[in-house]
Amino acid sequence: MDLGVIDLSRLQFALTALYHFLFVPLTLGLSMMLVIMESVYVMTNRPIWRVITRFWGRIFAINFVLGVATGLTMEFQFGTNWSYFSHYVGDIFGAPLAIEGLMAFFLEATFVGIMFFGWGRLSKLGHLLVTAMVALGTNLSALWILIANGWMQNPVGATFNPETMRMEVTDFGAVLFNPIAQAKFVHTVSAGYVCAAVVVLGISAFWLLTDRYKGVARRSMTVAAAFGLAASLSVVVLGDESGYALTDNQKMKLAAIEAAWHTAPAPAGLTLFGVPDVAARETRYEVQIPWVLGLIATRSLDGTVTGMSELVLKAQERITSGVVAYDAVERLKTDPANVAQRARFEAHKRDLGYALLLKRHVADPRTASLALIASTAWDVVPNVPLMFWSFRIMAAIGVLMIALFGAAFVLTSLRLHTQTRWFLKLAVLAIPLPWIAIELGWMLAEIGRQPWAIEGVLPTFLAASSLTRGVLWTTIIGFTAIYGTLAVIEVRLILATIRKGPFEHDEDAYPVPDAGSAGRGAARPVAADPIPA
């Protein structure tokens, strides 16, 4: 294994996934908000809501296409850059990706074209249903992707088959209803909703501050305040941590986030602040709130939060056991019918992945000394300071979001939101925050899973394709150049769209779909902001 190739493969995946994930959350949330806005239009029949829906639809469109474009890379990157991963777990991992295409992305992509082009060809209710299909497809898409990702964190319902040298599915229901996947879905989708709500809130606040398009702005803000409050509460309360008691790696993630080097007596305290020292394996200047962590993480007073040192000891046992399974697999390669080796394998197969950790240090894990096994066990600890700080910044932003939307909700309820200038300024300043939290959350999930590509099953350093550094640099530079250019163009187009405002040049010339149909009530064309602020 060329570790340079591994690092470059990881760098490329991280760059392309983090970039893809800039666009997806806004798509997730904005599609839902479009459904809300258009529903108000259909129910009230007021043309202003049509203008509102179409304007946020334009922002949605500019953002959506980049999500699609960068999603292409993700769909194929497992094969291009993580070839051994694809072989090793394709039997399970491929299924949710295929179902995502069939059940979700088809729905989203087919109806999104009709959503943009169908205004003149559909009834109002028909168009609303199309928008709802886009939102449904988008959110189902997230569900299937997170079922796939959740399985990487908690590989249930599968077992290693020595005949095919890969993991194979035993219980597809367990893969679908993986509790970690469910927790991730709610958490991630809620985060997307917060992101969209912040964008709508911030742009509306910007217009109110600069005294433009007030009718559109204050209505948009009302939707954003209610939607954002619900979503920001959901993202924190239904946080990802509910799964942290489940597996050794999830426990390790939690211990790393808390920089808990040793198991503390229950209920453990929550570390508010501290400076993790990796070399000394301790945390300096710790400020703890007693009991809180134990309550959150174990939902009980007597459950313990296992510390990293104890988890490393457990990993050491599992490596030792895994070496037996590894030896049995090697013997079964040449003698598949050997019953005794098959039995040895069955007894130790749960730990096979742990033996593979040794391959980073020695070609044949069976030759590893006890000392090597003991030191390799520490490989299961992820990057503690990164985890510690990422979590704290993410969580702080989560709390800030609740405060922001709490304020927004109160002010809109009191109808004070158009003139409270300090709040409007804060709303504009808050626009980048959800993205920071979302990207940090992704890093927590993925870096926290290290050294594993599949928790307990396949180490990351074994999962990559047999590529060379040269081609990897070529594609990293290529993707960076394309993505960078597109990012600049996208931001400029969104800013131009905001500047241009919600009213279209030719809104007069364009016949509203059912103008004149007396039954549904005629919608009038809108030439300028007709609603007094």
Which listed residue (496, 515, 522, 527) binds other proteins by CB under 8 A?
496
CB of 72 to other proteins, least distance (A): 6
- 116 or 389: whose CB is closer to other proteins? 116
Count of CB atoms situated within 10 Å of the CB of 367: 10
- 105 or 391: whose CB is closer to other proteins? 105
If one asks whether residue 119 binds other proteins (CB under 8 A), the answer comes out as yes
Residue 489 neighbours by CB under 8 Å, 6+ apart: none
Phi-psi region of 42 (alpha: psi -120 to 50; beta: other; left: phi over 0): alpha
Evaluated on CA atoms 333, 338, 344, 348, the torsion sign reads positive
Question: Binders of other proteins among 312-371, rule CB under 8 A?
Answer: 333
Q: Which of these segments, 72-80, 235-243, 373-381, 444-452, binds other proteins (CB under 8 A)?
A: 72-80
Cis peptide upstream of residue 451 (ω within 30 degrees of 0): yes
Instruction: State the Cα–Cα distance between residues 353 and 322, nearest whole angstrom.
Output: 7
Question: Binders of other proteins among 6-65, rule CB under 8 A?
Answer: 61-62, 65
Vertex 451: Cα angle to 344 and 305 (nearest 5): 90
CB of 385 to other proteins, least distance (A): 34
If one asks whether residue 471 binds other proteins (CB under 8 A), the answer comes out as yes
Which listed residue (4, 120, 432, 521) binds other proteins by CB under 8 A?
120
Question: Binders of other proteins among 429-468, rule CB under 8 A?
Answer: 465-467
If one asks whether residue 289 binds other proteins (CB under 8 A), the answer comes out as no
Evaluated on CA atoms 342, 345, 350, 356, the torsion sign reads negative
If one asks whether residue 180 binds other proteins (CB under 8 A), the answer comes out as no
Only one residue has tokens 């249930």, namely 156
Phi and psi at residue 159, in whole multiples of 5°?
-145, 155
Number of residues that bind other proteins (CB under 8 A): 79
- 65 or 431: whose CB is closer to other proteins? 65
CB of 206 to other proteins, least distance (A): 20
Count of CB atoms situated within 10 Å of the CB of 457: 21
The closest alpha carbon to 439, from 150, 257, 191, belongs to 191
Locate the DSSP E strands across 214-319: 270-277, 282-289
The closest alpha carbon to 411, from 398, 401, 422, belongs to 422
If one asks whether residue 250 binds other proteins (CB under 8 A), the answer comes out as no
- 73 or 316: whose CB is closer to other proteins? 73
Question: Binders of other proteins among 498-517, rule CB under 8 A?
Answer: 504-507, 509-510
Interface map 372-411 toward other proteins (x if CB under 8 A): ----------------------------------------
* Burial classification of residue 248, based on how many CB atoms lie within 10 Å of its CB (0-12 exposed, 13-18 middle, 19 or more buried): middle
CB of 107 to other proteins, least distance (A): 7
Buried b (16+ CB within 10 A) or exposed e, 281-320: bebeeeebeeeebbebbbeeeeebbbbbbbbbebbbebbb
Question: Binders of other proteins among 128-157, rule CB under 8 A?
Answer: none
Q: Which of these segments, 32-40, 168-176, 312-320, 362-370, binds other proteins (CB under 8 A)?
A: 168-176
Q: Which of these segments, 39-47, 269-277, 453-461, 490-498, binds other proteins (CB under 8 A)?
A: 490-498
Q: DSSP characters for 146-193?
A: HHHHHHHHS--SEEEETTTTEEEES-HHHHHT-HHHHHHHHHHHHHHH
What tokens does 32 get?
A: 């839902």
Which listed residue (59, 95, 255, 454) binds other proteins by CB under 8 A?
95
Q: Which of these segments, 91-99, 206-214, 308-316, 339-347, binds other proteins (CB under 8 A)?
A: 91-99
Residue 390 neighbours by CB under 8 Å, 6+ apart: 440, 441, 443, 444, 447
Which listed residue (7, 18, 36, 101) binds other proteins by CB under 8 A?
101
- 280 or 499: whose CB is closer to other proteins? 499
Which listed residue (49, 93, 409, 435) binds other proteins by CB under 8 A?
93
- 425 or 524: whose CB is closer to other proteins? 524
Evaluated on CA atoms 102, 103, 108, 113, the torsion sign reads positive
Which listed residue (7, 39, 87, 304) binds other proteins by CB under 8 A?
87
If one asks whether residue 107 binds other proteins (CB under 8 A), the answer comes out as yes
Q: Which of these segments, 28-36, 98-106, 190-198, 255-263, binds other proteins (CB under 8 A)?
A: 98-106
Q: Which of these segments, 107-115, 205-213, 397-405, 444-452, binds other proteins (CB under 8 A)?
A: 107-115
